[in-house]
Chains A and B, each alone.
Chain A
Amino acid sequence: MSLMMDRRVPRLGLLGFAALMTTCTAAAAQNVTLVDMVPNALSAETARDAEPNLAVNGNIPTQIVGSAFTPDPMASSNLPLFVSTDGGATWTLSTPAFIPGTSGACVSVVCDITIRFGGSSNILYVSDLNPIGGTSTLDVWQVLNPTSAAPTITSLETRAPSGGGFVDQPYIEAATQAWSSQDVVLVAANDLTAPGGKTAAADHTLSPVPPAPAGFSTAILEPRATTGQDAPSVRTASYADGTTYAIYYGFRPAGYEVVVARDSDWGASATPFQALIDPDASAGKKVVSSLSMPSSLGNQRVGWQDAIAVDPQDPLSVYIAYAEGASSATYTLHVRHSGDGGTTWDPDIKTVTPATNPGVAVSTAGEIGFLYQKLVAGKWETHLERSKTAGVSWTDILLASVPDSKGSYGGSNPIGDYTGLLAVGKDFYGIFSGFNTPDTANFYPGVSFPRNHDFVAHTLLDLSMNPVAGSIDPFFFHVSDFTAGQDFYVRDWSDSPTVHDNGQEPSTNPYFMVDSDVWNRRSNTNGGFDVVTDRPNHEDPQDPIDGNNFAFVRIHRNAVGSAAPVTARFLIADFGLGTTYQDADPAPAPVLNFAAGDTVQTQPDGVGYQWALSPGHSTHICMGVEISAAGPPADNYTGDLWGHAAGWPTTDMMIINDNNKAQRNMGVYTAPHTDQTDALTYYATIHNAATRTRDMVLRYTITEAVARRLKVSSIEVQGGGSNAATRETNLRIEAPKNGATITLKAMQPGENRWLGITMSTVGAPQGALLPVAIREMNGNSALNGILIGARDATLGASMKDALAFHAAVFRRMDALFKTPGAAEEAKVAASLQRREPGTEVYIDFLRKAQAMLGRQIESLTYMAGASGDAFGSEAAAKRLQEALDKGSPESLVVAHMALLEKLDTFESMIDKAKGDTADILPNFYWQRTLYLRAGNLKSVGPQMAVRTAAVIRALESRKARLPDYGRIIADMQSAFADTAKLLHDEVLDRAFAQMQADRGDAQKLQGAHRQFLLRLSALVK
């Protein structure tokens, strides 16, 4: 709910907070929920509810759990957890039974409780210190149904003290691996049981399933000598691909040292947290050294407070907050950023003095959140500052300004050693502890106190309205620029009218790329939605000979709101992984107008977005959509797919993280219904959209149910032949098992290879879709994926689809290579397809097409040069001939489709060898990177990097377009010439000359430009 306009707020309090808000820069509308979490039933409680932590279920963000040093009100040994099922508006203290220790001297059942939900599993994970007999045992728990009245708690790990030490200040992180839906759990801690004084550590498991130890093992982060140990506060932050960072303070003779370590696989790689090497040759980058620490700040002890967060859009973009100071007065929080995975660190983007308990988080929109508690004139001010400009400007929200009072608590740690801050989607959720005087002047306007209180008399009251002494309470907050009525989204998946994507960020379904609410139609009718699955009725795009295509989108919001126009931009890319998106059409993007009462809008019949495949383009494509809403908040948008590839490493998790984007990456071949079809190989493009050479790891998955009906006999990879380093990777896996991986080694920037899946159907029910998934992996996480499958259909439907494909393949042959007779062949096939021929007519057509097919194979093989008949078209043609001679109609249509698949892919390979206009913008990204790091190009390097950045901005904003490409290259001619001159390289000279020659043909120019950059990448130092 929005609390900004609460008119009960006393004037002075409002003025005080208003004064602070004036420091905001261009403050967007913000919705702040701030709640004292102590429920009404505990109105009389005076416990010290400090050192809080928070978990938000990303799958169901209304489910939130909080923890603090809150004792069980009945003094039992149960685990006290604050739970909310309404997004934090109201809270219940739940006390589920678990396996407690004997609390000894501890003030609560267990200490140091931290909590996290798995990414999409709905499971809560808890770590704590169980003060058994006065010593501390590390516990990790799995909690099922945590926000219900009957949660189930099971032990995952227990580590008792040993050697005079214990595992101190455990701090938990959890996520769900995208490809397997399996959770991962990390527990960063100061492992005082570790030998040699190297104590910064992280316990981790890729399988957090009971019984204990649930796969947990310990990674020691600290490689350097210490003065006996590291600091208590060790924190981790993970990116969805498994990239995991850790921050810790090393104790050195010269003072304390902040170190950041990195791992590529959730801490579980073969040499964990060794991925980031410092110039001193040890693992872990030393960010800052020789620091001092005071012991207290006001009534609160302090020392070594830190936090870390990784940008959900970029695994190399990481933020840290750390504390240092020689005295209480100079105890300073620093926020710093690294854009290269921790290798180098920018100067401070924020400092606050004197302050403690930092939290950092980055939203899916790239907004940084920085939470801290600052001591000002005897009051603890709790601030959430946010920056959408990478720290250049900040918007400050003063959540609380409360007395630095201990109440009846006699300890040294009244508010606790940390707060909690999370980014879930575009929103920030957090928790902090503070003194609970019910004075609205102490809090952000609209603060809610469910416990009995008198805001006028500033008095807490019990249930009998007797005064209650003040104490430390946990406070929950939620900050969003969007109400549910402002947050428009496109569903990434739908299984039924009631089970579907609700706009979660990141998306919670591993099949986020196949059943989305963007689809194509071959006529200007939206086709409605399947009554069972609630999925749109997609049609593969048709050849331009047959007519235009029409793109449709269904847009939702989860609550009614203001009337709003929502723009939907449609994009297409080659079918495959890493392929670059382009606008589907230059025409203006359509606008869907939401009335105030609308929660869903679909383009009606007649207003689909008309687009046409270019004549040379395959009909196998991926389709994307990105929506943007006008009006505040205008930045309801996280960037642009245009000129980028979904998945690693360009837009990376953009589609998964941004509910404004959706894509449909599904290739379906229509198999004739029969007991068992012959095999067919379906191809997808695998494209390296990165600006560096890299390996691409693909994982094949097939469900058991599909495997019973779809026989996949092999997976093969074609291409890479001109790259000597990768010839051995022309792979073929026979009878692949579910989970098989293929590594395409040393993929050069912009390089294409082709993945073929050979499959046949076995008695599939008519109409059934039998898909297999190919996902691009980074570690154990899927970054993008495609579905390839067969759909069983009638023989007539299969013949019709084969004829349409035949027309498309020959239409491309004509458009791309001007092959004599190809246009006529396409027309005949298209005409026949429209007439829905019988079997005899179809067979007659194929007999007549034999000669033309043969000539096409010869032509393509000739054009391919050294790589020859890479896809085995000759053999496919022979098989078609055999089917014509003696095969069944079903075998004939499969043989026909199999040959067409090969020819279509062959055409793509030869065409893309010339260049690819979709890769013009990626070329400039690559160019900027090369010139930025070129130390041997004198002043040309930085100048060219700046000029290239300007071109990128022009292209990204669509101020420059495809026809401008030649002029842009011409404008840079002298700089390219200077580059060639400085490097004295014949290959580079030839590439430069070719660029000059091809300036009039955007496709060829892109190819020449790429060759220039490829050579340049080998020469720059």
Chain B
Amino acid sequence: MKASRITRILVGLSIALCCAVPTGAQQAISKAALIQQSPFIFRGTVVRMGASNLSLLPAAPDLAIVHVNEILKSPAALGAFSGHDITVQLPSGRQFQQGRQSVFYATGWLYGESLAVKASAAGFDYADSASLKDEVLRADQMSAEAKLMARVQSAALVISGRVLDVRPVAVKDAKVSEHSPDYWSAEVEIGNVVKGPGEKGQHVAVVFAKSTDEMWLKAPKLARGDVGVFLLHVNDNRDLGIGGYTVLDPLDVEPLERLTLVQQFVGKGR
């Protein structure tokens, strides 16, 4: 897609959106934020105003039953709602009509015999589906990268490297809980230093949570031979009595192929 076309689409969308949006570059930023904040975006046709198709949700003037024509963004578990009717709480300040098609930017609400969502915005979009999906993809990619960037910036040491060994960590006065992190330490050989103190070839101890309890399941698990980019934090888990470098957030260990991206976030590479 050419840039000029994307611009036209974004401008068109911004104008059509019922939420107030400034002009120019700010429009695109606001639109991106709206996409990022809307886990469920779909093109739909209003079937009936003031109605609900969930028994838990009484009919009300701000509700409508909407036929989902096409899903542009959705969690996997809700991806099959195309072709189904759902209930939408309509954004205020805009008139909707039965039979009119719109793109709805929605968050979740109720999941019963049908689905109810709350639309924070809706636009009468003329863009084709491919363009809209591309826009959604880019906005979500921006969001994911922003989260990774924040994690990189809060890290004390960012390296690429290889795990040489792992061993349990003795935590003083550790309490037994089903949610205990089960700290282990990985000895990591530094390949590249992206941020912070350290030298290539140096070994650094990295604490990780080996527990597969729900509280720690998504925390990175390290094993001998693992390679990757490590965003090492200190005092990241100060309340549980460990010191040194830790990788506890799911974003703290990235595949090696993301090294360049991480280096861009730091602003320099070595």
User: Which A residues are closer than 8 A to B by beta carbons?
Assistant: 39-48, 50-51, 69, 72-76, 78, 83, 85, 90-95, 104-108, 111-112, 129, 131, 133-136, 147-149, 160-162, 164-166, 168-169, 190, 192, 199, 228-229, 231-232, 251, 301, 410-413, 417, 450, 462-464, 466
Contact A105 B77 (CB under 8 A): no
> Quick check: is B213 within 8 A (CB to CB) of the other chain?
yes
Given known contacts A92-B111, A412-B213, A75 and B75 CB-to-CB distance under 8 angstroms:
yes
| Residues of chain B within 8 A of A301, CB atoms compared | 178
Partner among A75, A94, A229 whose Cβ is within 8 Å of the Cβ of B176:
A229
Q: Contact: B115 with A41, CB < 8 Å?
A: yes
Closest A-B pairs by Cβ, 4 of them: A74-B108, A92-B112, A105-B219, A463-B80
Shortest Cβ distance from residue B65 to the other chain A in the assembled complex, whole angstroms: 14
Residues of B within 8 A of A39 (CB): 111-113
Residues of B within 8 A of A111 (CB): 179, 214-215
Rounded to whole angstroms, the CA-CA distance of A754 and B78 in the bound complex is: 69
Residues of A within 8 A of B216 (CB): 105-106, 134
- Expressed in whole angstroms, the Cα–Cα distance for A68 and B7 within the complex equals 45
Give Cα A111–Cα B216 distance, bound, in whole angstroms. Answer: 11
Asked if residues B112 and A164 are in contact (CB atoms below 8 Å), the reply is no
Interface centre among A74, A95, A108, A148 (most CB of B within 10 A): A74
Residue of A nearest to B117 (CB): A74
For residue A45, give the distance in angstroms from its CB to the closest CB of chain B: 4
Interface 9-mer from B51-59, B125-133, B155-163, B255-263: B51-59
Q: Which of B97-105, B191-199, B222-230, B237-245 contacts A (4 or more CB under 8 A)?
A: B237-245
B108 touches A164 (CB 8 A): no
Residue of A nearest to B57 (CB): A149
Q: Is A78 a contact of B178 with CB atoms below 8 Å? A: no
Taking A39-B112, A41-B115, A464-B80 as contacts, is the C-beta distance between A411 and B214 under 8 angstroms? yes
Inter-subunit contact B77/A463 (CB<8 Å):
no
B217 close to A410 (CB less than 8 A): yes
Q: Are A228 and B175 in contact (CB under 8 A)?
A: yes
B interface, by DSSP: helix, strand, loop or mixed?
A: loop
Chain A residues whose CB sits within 8 angstroms of the CB of B241 once the complex forms: 164
Contact of A40 among B108, B114, B212, B239 (CB under 8 A): B114
Q: How many A-B Cβ pairs are below 8 Å?
A: 180
Shortest Cβ distance from residue A64 to the other chain B in the assembled complex, whole angstroms: 12
Nearest A residue to B76, CB-CB:
A44
Q: How far is A131 from B240 in the complex, measured between Cα atoms in Å? A: 13
Cα–Cα distance between A788 and B51 once the two chains are bound (Å)? 52
Cβ-closest chain A residue relative to B56:
A92
A76 contacts B39, C-beta separation under 8 Å:
yes
* Assembled-state Cα–Cα distance A744/B152 (Å): 71
Q: Report whether B239 and A41 are in contact in the complex, using a CB–CB cutoff of 8 Å.
A: no
With contacts A83-B56, A411-B212, A411-B214 taken as known, whether A41 is within 8 angstroms of B80 at the C-beta atoms is no
* B248 touches A (CB below 8 Å): yes
Beta-carbon contact of B77 and A73 below 8 Å: yes
A90 to B54, CA, bound (A): 11
CB pair A168–B178 under 8 Å, yes or no, is yes
Q: Is the CB of B178 within 8 A of A232?
A: yes
A73 neighbours in B (Cβ, 8 Å): 75, 77-78, 108, 111
Per DSSP, chain A at the interface is loop
A192 near B175 with CB under 8 A, answer yes
Q: A111-B179, A412-B211 are in contact. Are A93 and B77 (CB under 8 A)?
A: no
Check if A129 sits within 8 Å of B77, measured CB to CB: no
From B75, B112, B209, B237, A74 is in contact (CB under 8 Å) with: B75
Is B165 in contact with chain A by the CB < 8 A criterion? no
Whether the Cβ atoms of A106 and B215 lie closer than 8 Å is yes
Contacts A75-B75, A85-B55, A105-B216 known; 6 new A-B pairs at CB < 8 A: A92-B110, A93-B110, A106-B218, A413-B213, A413-B214, A417-B178
Complex CA distance for A1000 and B24, rounded to whole angstroms: 107
> How close is B168's CB to chain A, nearest CB, in angstroms?
15
Q: What residues of chain A lie closer than 8 Å to B75, measured between beta carbons?
A: 73-75
Chain B residue numbers with a CB within 8 Å of A417 are 178
Q: Is the CB of B116 within 8 A of A95?
A: no
B34-53: CB near A (< 8 Å → 1, else 0) gives 00000110000000000000
B200 at the interface (CB under 8 A from A): no
Q: Is the CB of A190 within 8 A of B77?
A: no
Q: Is the CB of A229 within 8 A of B250?
A: no
Q: Which residues from A are CB-within-8-Å of B250?
A: 105
Instruction: Name the CB-closest residue of B to A74.
Output: B108
A136 to B249, CA, bound (A): 15
Please tell me if B269 contacts chain A, counting CB pairs below 8 Å. no
CB-CB nearest in chain B for A461: B80
The answer to whether B177 and A72 have CB atoms under 8 Å apart is: no
| A130 to B116 alpha-carbon distance, docked (Å) | 26
B199 CB to closest chain A CB (Å) equals 29
Q: Determine if B248 and A104 form an interchain contact, defined as CB atoms under 8 angstroms apart.
A: yes
Q: From residue A87, how far is it (CB to closest CB) to chain B in Å?
A: 13
Residues of A within 8 A of B109 (CB): 94-95, 149
A43-B80, A107-B214, A134-B237 in contact; A93/B178 too (CB < 8 A)?
Answer: no
Chain A residue nearest in CB terms to B176? A229
Q: How far apart are B186's CB and chain A's nearest CB, in angstroms? A: 16
Q: Tell yes or no: B124 within 8 A of A by CB.
A: no
CB distance from A415 to the nearest CB of B (A): 12
Cβ B178 vs Cβ A169 within 8 A: yes
Report Cα–Cα, A92/B115, bound state, in Å. Answer: 9
Instruction: Determine if A164 and B177 form an interchain contact, defined as CB atoms under 8 angstroms apart.
Output: no
Task: Across the interface, name the chain B residue whose C-beta is closest to A108.
Answer: B214
With known contacts A44-B76, A135-B239, A105–B215 Cβ distance under 8 A? yes
